[in-house]
Amino acid sequence: MERFAPGVPVFELVVGNGEDQVSIRKLQRRMKKFPKKLSKVQLRELRARLKSIGGMNIPLPKGPMPKNLRMPKPR
């Protein structure tokens, strides 16, 4: 991550119900408590970098799912 976004603070959260974990209901509130360390210019630059490497897009197939798809036979 340091290679793509140098100087950007990275926080790690574990979602769950155990100790030292954040429940899914409290996740948004917990994320809003993090300090805002990037200016608007830095944020635009970071978004442009992540977009250029494809970090924000997950490749998903487009269109309807076929209904009569056959699975290949194991060999």
Q: How many CA atoms lie within 13 A of 39 on its CB side?
A: 2
Establish if 48 belongs to a structural domain.
yes
Handedness of CA 56, 48, 54, 13 (dihedral sign): negative
Does residue 46 surpass a pLDDT of 60?
yes
| Structure tokens, 63 | 């269109």
Domain that holds residue 36: 1-54
Establish if 68 belongs to a structural domain.
no
Does residue 55 surpass a pLDDT of 60?
no
Establish if 62 belongs to a structural domain.
no
Stretch 16-21: mean pLDDT:
91
Establish if 65 belongs to a structural domain.
no
What is the structure's pLDDT at 23?
Answer: 93
As for how many domains the chain has, the answer is 1
Does residue 31 surpass a pLDDT of 60?
yes
Establish if 9 belongs to a structural domain.
yes
Establish if 13 belongs to a structural domain.
yes
Establish if 47 belongs to a structural domain.
yes
Establish if 2 belongs to a structural domain.
yes
Is this structure's pTM higher than 0.95? Answer: no
Q: What is the CA radius of gyration of the chain?
A: 19
Residue with tokens 């950007």: 8
